[in-house]
């Protein structure tokens, strides 16, 4: 089980790095829109999206291992990645849109 945890944690880090780069440098959407569009995707869907990007080291073999991963580990790391995406969304809103929300209250 430890081997699965290590693999899932490493892959989650690579996925989050790829998503971060994509949302800030590649996507035609705002970072907020980009992160929001990815917030409900699971580990496999996110890994699949970035598997073609050699920069982040997500390979087809990683996708195969995800299909074999025990459900409890898969679910744990899917939730962890989704929480991290949600945290990033809150940070973006706070940093870039805080004044927009404050203006609405006035």
Task: Report the distance separating Cα 24 and Cα 26, nearest Å.
Answer: 6
As to burial, measured by CB atoms within 10 angstroms (0-12 exposed, 13-18 middle, 19+ buried), residue 76 is middle
Comparison of pLDDT for 20 and 57, the residue scoring more:
20
Q: Average pLDDT of 20-28?
A: 95
Alpha helix locations (H) across the chain?
A: 2-21, 31-38, 43-50, 60-68, 71-105
Task: Report the distance separating Cα 74 and Cα 96, nearest Å.
Answer: 33
Q: What pLDDT shows up at residue 102?
A: 52
Q: What pLDDT shows up at residue 70?
A: 97
pTM of the model: 0.86
Nearest in space to 21 (alpha carbons), one of 65, 54, 68: 54
């Amino acid at each position: 089980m430890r081997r699965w945890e290590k693999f899932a944690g490493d892959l989650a880090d690579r996925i989050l790095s790829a998503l971060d780069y994509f949302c800030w440098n590649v996507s035609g959407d705002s970072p907020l829109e980009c992160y929001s569009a990815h917030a409900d995707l699971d580990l496999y869907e996110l890994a699949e999206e970035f598997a073609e990007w050699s920069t982040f080291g997500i390979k087809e073999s990683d996708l195969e291992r995800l299909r074999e991963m025990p459900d409890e580990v898969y679910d744990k790391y899917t939730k962890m990645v989704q929480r991290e995406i949600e945290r990033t969304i809150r940070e973006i809103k706070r940093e870039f849109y805080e004044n927009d929300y404050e203006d609405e209250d006035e």
